[in-house]
Amino acid sequence: MERRELEYFLAIAQHGSFTAAAQALHVAQPSLSHAIRNLERELGGKVFHRLPQGVALTPAGEALVEPARQVMRDLSTASASVRQVLGLSAGRLDVVAQTTLAVDPLAELLGAFLREHPGVAVTVSDPELGSDVTTAVRAGECELGMVDAEQPIGDLASMVLRGREIFAVLPPGSATERRTLSGSELSTLDWVTTPRGTATRAVIEDTVGARGAAPAVAVETAHQAMVVPLVLAGAGATLLPLSMAQDAAARGAVVRPLRPRVIRRGVLFWRPGPLSPAAAEFVRMAEAIAEPHRR
């Protein structure tokens, strides 16, 4: 089978129809249909159910998705390896990260990376659930992933990044004369948070729940960008890393450090095996801010 056939197959699987895939790839639909017919002939079975509105993967098609993604990534890695000889002047880097880690430390890391390698195209996706992040890397959808965690991820190559201090972010005018907030004070607050399985929810539950009391959730929202506006509107408090807390303070929120300090770490991880030159260089740069315990 040819690279183009796999590329077309994955595009159709992603977009749900031949028409949408042809538009996304900027190719004529007959060319797309011809390539898939060739692919199905080579495989000896159908990879798509043709429906009145679009297509659906057959069991054979579902079995092909992950190997096809890995083949495309391996081909991209081979091509990029040649470009590496020319000084990493091209190529691509795709990273999937939980939102809070995308802000810190990923944004800083990518800025440093692109200053040295401006020709590399970078894509960042941000499913908020940590399980979705690891799934995307295991399935070959993204090459690198970043989640809120304290330990390396067992079946993936990974490294633990530096710790980020967490701060309480309170509504404007909150009556607190203390320079720091203790765990007992946190347990009296109402919280604005994202759903279970997200980084923000995990730090609130771990910090407040450490005293045996479940946090009182005033608002749960799937939109991370909505958390600070809700705090500013007086809906409740939240916990955020320093960079995000500072942005909230600039908009009028009351920000206090915690006592004892709360430090959260992130894990950068990837599938075992060779990385593309861009990803390998990014991992090398990330090692500079990795914790001593890394894998």
Whether residue 294 is contained in a domain is answered as no
Q: Is the pTM of this model over 0.85?
A: no
3-class SS letters over 108-134: HHHHHHHHHCCCCEEEEECCCCHHHHH
- Over residues 63-90, the pLDDT tens digits come to 999 999 988 888 887 777 666 645 667 7
Are 121 and 143 found together in one domain?
Answer: yes
Same domain, residue pair 259 and 186: yes
Tokens standing for residue 216: 């009182």
Cβ 272 vs Cβ 156: under 8 Å: yes
Q: 185-224 pLDDT, tens per residue?
A: 999 999 999 999 899 999 999 999 876 678 999 999 999 9
Co-location of 280 and 137 in the same domain: yes
Quick check: is 221 in a domain? Answer: yes
Residue numbers of the domain that contains 75: 3-80
My answer on whether 256 and 282 are in the same domain is: no
CA neighbor of 145 nearest in space, from 49, 294, 277, 269: 269
Q: Are residues 228 and 246 in the same domain?
A: yes
Same structural domain, 115 and 256: no
Instruction: Judge whether 295 lies within some domain.
Output: no
200 and 244 fall within a common domain: yes
Task: Specify if 238 maps to a domain.
Answer: yes
8 and 132 inside one domain: no
Phi, psi of 219 (to 5 degrees): -140, 130
Same domain, 181 and 237: yes
